[in-house]
Structure 1
């Protein structure tokens, strides 16, 4: 793709923190080393990815302090600071890092799973990380600051309450939550206005269906993570594969097109560390699935869930 014409806004926009942003954004988790740990293999390419995303009309960039840790935020600043007025930078705090997602052993890689991402929601820690994200990103305020996980050891009202304090001080504009239930969203909304929710959701993982529907009713932006995962549906001859061939598209484009059609508050944030993959993903803004195709994918995903 050689165009410099913005394409991301072609799938519609959604209002967050007083900004109207294209619904197809960019998730910056992959701007790091293997296992979401340390420096990427090609930092210059990661910088190009962020710059190319903005060139193609992306207005929502989502990152977190734990990506690297800190590396993703630093690369975003290197790539685009000072930020255009129409670009919304979202970051998160509440997950710490003990190491990469997997470690190499004599028997092969061993995934650390949750041990690599322990939640920490103590108010003092959340404040510290917000202050450090401001410094790393080069901002005087963060457009969207999200609680990366609810810490079960800390009352939810204390975690959200500290974000509300930061908001009242002008250090963050809008508050978001990640991987939460409807009940937790309602608890949080008794303390502060919630602009977005970021839960795992894709063609084959509908475990947050009730959260998506709640957010749609309440006009809360829904940012699905792992958005392009299609599992068995993308196997050769499967429904995603068949539609990709029919539309001369990639399976990831089909998965993203389905998400965008699912609800107008849907804000997919596919991530990559390669310009080629970025361009392919954003081309989903121009892929329109027919009603029967959408229904077919919806039904097929439910059967595999």
Structure 2
């Protein structure tokens, strides 16, 4: 119910962002467009809350749109076009499928509307954007690898689960984790794609365990990989530490009840804040770094409740 109320409120905000203002007053406000992958999950809701807080503090007209699900690529592109047609000073954009977004990014450039990317960068070699605000995925992998290495010993076998082949986000996270784990003396027994699907993560892990029953731990490049792997280990009668990325409500509850070991938490509220601040700096003509990274933290049973409480606040 809370999520539905939030979505309705956000959609209303995206349509009538200047509610309560006269047309002249609304016209005087700086308009910034915000097009995300979805508004229906805690990760994106926290990002929206951060963006709204900074927009409110700076009297910004924040025009927000996002599809109902993260796989609605064409719908997201159309939403970007819709917001762009309203002539914002800057667009903030989280491309669901970056290669598909190149044409619309070029339209923004032709219209002289700078774009601040969040969460997901454009393909390597594409530089027509003002800045990227998000995560250093190699660093995130290192943080997760360090958390896993702390509870393992030299010689222990570990598996790494990533997304679809060619997905830079997942690949970079697994690269970071592999680097740290190898340096700590662990053996990478397998590194396989799971196509960002929990059931595939489950079946891939099952297949690995059938051939190598002595796996001592796992790193998943996101929460679905972590949860799918956990189910496979549990059904095999094994209780091993598994580290994932994105501390969703489901993951946090798993940490609290002891079913899961750790997750790398990405502060998407901070991403939302930094994105609007960067957009305002771009409007003011200030020099903005090409990349702005937010910090990540390890969440375990000890601090999971605090993170869960924070997420609940954003979902209201």
Q: TM-score, normalised by structure 1?
A: 0.32
Larger Rg: 2
Going by fraction, where is helix more abundant, 1 or 2? 2
